[in-house]
A = this chain, B = another copy of it.
Amino acid sequence: MTGRQRVRATDSKHRLFAASMSLIGERGHHSVTVDEIAAAAGVSKGTVYYNFGSKAQLIGQLIRFGADVLFERLEAGVANPDPVAGFRDMVTASLEFMEAYPSFAQLWVSEQWQSRSEWADTLEELREEIIAVIRTALDRLRTAGGHPAVERADPAALATAIFGAVLIMGRDRQVFHPERGIGQCVDAVMAFAAVG
């Protein structure tokens, strides 16, 4: 409870978080072992279990942490009074987030559409929230007018398409096209959505 005791614990947790983040981002959580994570964090295996209880809980906390950061960043986009700029901010924030927390995108892409996943419920909730945010941004574009593409399609389906485009765009950048700048990706999504 005192400050000094927390120093070691917090440090280990952070080291483990960081190690998990990069290892899982690169290779996926299935092929990363707890021993590897511990080694990469410069900590013993026991410490992982002391701090997190299980591999699944470690990943669960990783997801929850990532979700908090993501929504914090998305809010900034929603806050922008200009609908088009707000939309752009939202897309940019998403891609920046994926760059900063690569394992989040990896986990999402590999676990979201699997019923048996440990984190299926958390991820599904999260997905609904994100779709809701996108729909809000689309609604604002729609009421602003001048965006026929946005006005035409089923809002839920359109939001899913945008979500997919951004998610895969971000993941693709990380793995295959690191030379592709975030701006370039944002432009492609904006052009795609014909709201540029």
Residue numbers of A with Cβ under 8 A of B are 26-28, 30-31, 106, 109-110, 113-117, 124, 127, 148-150, 152-154, 156-158, 160-169, 171-172, 174-177, 180, 184-185, 187-194, 196
Residue of B nearest to A191 (CB): B153
Task: Count this chain's copies in the assembly.
Answer: 2
Q: Which residues of B contact A150 (CB under 8 A)?
A: 191
CA distance A55 to B82 in the complex (A): 53
Residues on B with C-beta less than 8 A from A116 are 26-28, 31
Assuming A164-B166, A168-B168, A196-B149, is B113 touching A158 (CB within 8 A)?
A: no
Q: Is the CB of B191 within 8 A of A27?
A: no
Residues from chain B with Cβ under 8 Å of A187 in the complex:
152-154, 157
